[in-house]
A and B are shown apart, each in its own frame.
Chain A
Amino acid sequence: MKVGYYPGCALHGSSNDYEQSLVACLGALDVKLKEVDGWICCGATAAHSLNSKLSMALPARNLAMAEKEGFRELFAPCPLCSMQLLKVREAVKDEAVRQELSEVVEAEIRGDAQVINLIQLFLNVGLDRLKAAVKQPLDSVTAACYYGCLLLRPPKIAKFDDCEQPTSMETLLAAVGAKTVDWSYKTECCGAGMTMASEDTVLNLAYKILDNAREHGATSLVVACPMCHINLDMKQAAVERRYGKQFNMTVYYLSDLVGLALGLSREQLGIDRHFVTEPMMGNH
């Protein structure tokens, strides 16, 4: 299976462990990622907060570039990138908008490439295939699946899972033998792109998420978003200092856990490059 791949800036920056994990894990499932040639930043929160035109034009350029290469499916592992692409796809259903945007970005946008997130990509591979490929069932993992915001919201555009009670990650992890917990903060926000701009906000929100996950018996968190990972993993030590509580909560990318189940090593998946790197053990 060959899939168009829009990495986005985070995966080529400080979240390059996420890309390493994806390439290793998906490679083991014979999914080849073909990076979109000439992609640019989607503008992220800065664009949609400060300039509505840019927030459409930047992802529109990327969608057009992907479609030019003939990708029917475009995999965007960052939920914000993914959401910005989906919004463009929705907007260009209006022919006048489609033409105008195409002119602005100097490339024809058709809007026919399917934009998919990591969970959808795994579901496309198929639960049966995943189950069959498991070499190392993850029975020592008790994870809280953390979806955050943009995989699910707004539901009219995301059109994915249940935006209040999602279960797709739990289904995937059950297929590879991991236990998951029921908890209350699955879809609460971690503060996303405010990591630098408003650190207090992020520490407060990340604290609530980590605390609730632990209260419900999780020993690790699973995410499918680079910003969630930064706020919960990289900022975890700062959260612990601020709130005087130790979590020592491993934060896995979804592809880390699937990859471990497929028999890949922590080093192959880049788990050793996380900030919280306790070896995976049941600590109950």
Chain B
Amino acid sequence: MSRLVERQRQRHARRLRPAGFDEFGLRTAMADRILPFLVAAMSFLALLALSGAVGAANLAREWRHGAGSALTVQVPHAQAADAQAARASAVLAALRDTPAIAEANLLSDDQLGDLLAPWLGTGVERLSLPLPSVIEARLRDGRDLPPDLAGKLDSIAPGTLVENHGPWLARLTALARSLQALAALALLVVAAVAVAVVAVATRAGLVARRAAVEIIHGLGATDGYIAGRFATRAMRLAGWGGVFGALAGVPLLFELAHLAAPFARGGEGTSAPSALIGTLPALPVLAGAIGWATAQVTVRRWLRRLR
């Protein structure tokens, strides 16, 4: 109960303390240049790592969604036009009857023309080439390609080819996951370095203001009071560092968005950086929280040497 009253009294004291009252002289002991600059650099690096993590995750998701469940089925050209249409329809029907297939569509001549335009130019139909019918199909989420599907389709229309995009996509997904793990590791290292930087700055402040700390401790200030003053200062400096680091990262994010766009679905998508831009305000908050917590721990441990 008395501890509760004491805490309330300390909170009350903090509210009443005049703005700018700096009994420890921390405005000079924990200067407002080096620490924000270092934390800004850490925040910028964190943003880079985060960009890597989010970008890799988004690309993996795009690929999974776009190609991961896709199959391309080619039904070879038959001599008679009617026979070709019948073979394609039979294969399409067989695909649609397969439980693992969510969707299957026969590409129209125009769609096929668009697909071949980069190689054969426009007006493919005028070349009278024996083009196969092409069916695009999508597997249901979490379902694998039935092993007997290719044989089944070949028996319906001999020469039918089933191209599954799954294997190469699995490799790309593994690569994306590795990149994410590396980015998470980099984030951890950056956070550890930020903690070390704040701890060193706090200890330097304690050494510079040792006499003041001893006097104020002798006047009856609790560990919480003293640690709170250092932590508030460290939180402000680290928070400003986070703001500067985040601002410095904005142009980088847009550049990354531009570079990543061709790999994203729709070509012009900027989904990865949009997610990151949402995390920008969190950087100063996180930096401030790291500053506050690190200073609290550092000061409380240092105060143990005083009675």
| A interacts with B | no
